[in-house]
Amino acid sequence: MTFEEMRADFIRRRKGSLALPITGVIVYATAALLSLVVAREWHNLVLTLCFWTILPVGALVMKLRGEEGGTPDNPLFKLSAYARVMALSTWAVHIPLWLYAPHLFPLSVGILFALHWVVFSWTLGHPVGFYHLGLRIAFVLLAWHLVPGNRMGAVSMGVALAYLISVMQLGRIDWDTRLRA
List pLDDT tens digits, range 29-55: 999 999 999 999 999 999 999 999 999
Distinct helix (H) and strand (E) counts, the chain: 11, 0
Residue 132 and residue 162 in contact, taking contact as beta carbons nearer than 8 Å: yes
- Distances in whole angstroms, Cα of residue 25 to Cα of each of 18, 64, 124, 162, 170: 11, 16, 20, 8, 14
Q: Which amino acid is at 128?
A: V
The whole-number pLDDT of residue 181 equals: 63
Please list, residue by residue across 53-71, b when 16 or more beta carbons sit within 10 angstroms of its beta carbon and e when fewer do.
Answer: ebeebbeebbeeeebeeee
Give the whole-angstrom CA distance, residue 20 versus residue 24.
6
Q: CA 31, 127, 175, 85: dihedral to nearest 10 degrees? A: -50
Low-confidence ranges of the chain (pLDDT < 70): 70-71, 178, 181
| pTM of the predicted model as reported, rounded to 2 decimal places | 0.93
Contacts of 51 (CB under 8 A, 6+ apart): 27, 31, 109, 113
Give the whole-angstrom CA distance, residue 46 versus residue 32.
9
